[in-house]
Amino acid sequence: MASFLNKARVPGVDSPSCRCEQGIETAEHLLLHCPIEQERREWRRGAQLSELLSNPGYTAATAKWIIQSNRLGQFQLANRLLYNRVSASTALQTRHRV
């Protein structure tokens, strides 16, 4: 993720390295190798990277998983709204007040 954003010269992404400092932060690194994501990785049950990224049975879960990793700054709000019910309801209440 940082690798892609760094190549795209996204402001604030100065390095393609992962915060674990054991590799470049790519989708493959996060999904298969990153020690920080070790516990969150259980759901894929041994699926191969190609399946995770192209098999319709996995792609939605893969996208959700990557968003929930909060590695993509621009998706942090989406993560809170989509997957954190407390924050989502708070956001809705705030919207009603406006």
State the nearest-atom distance from the C-beta of 29 to Zn ion, in Å: 6
* H runs (alpha helix) in 23-75: 27-28, 49-54, 56-68
Q: Which stretch binds Zn ion (CB under 5 A): 33-41, 60-68, 69-77, 82-90?
A: 33-41
The helix (H) or strand (E) run that includes residue 32 is none
Backbone angles phi, psi at 18, to 5 degrees: -75, 155
Looking at 1-9, 15-23, 54-62, 66-74, which segment touches Zn ion (CB under 5 A)? 15-23
Can residue 66 be called a binding residue for Zn ion (CB under 5 A)? no
Q: How far apart are CA 72 and CA 64, in angstroms?
A: 12
> Does residue number 2 form part of the binding site for Zn ion (CB under 5 A)?
no
Contact predicate 88/81, CB 8 Å: yes
Would you count residue 20 as binding Zn ion (CB under 5 A)? yes
For Zn ion, which residue of 18, 31, 52, 66 counts as binding (CB under 5 A)?
A: 18
- Residue 34 binds Zn ion (CB under 5 A): yes
How many Cβ atoms from other residues are within 10 Å of residue 1's Cβ?
20
Interface residues with Zn ion (CB under 5 A) are 18, 20, 34
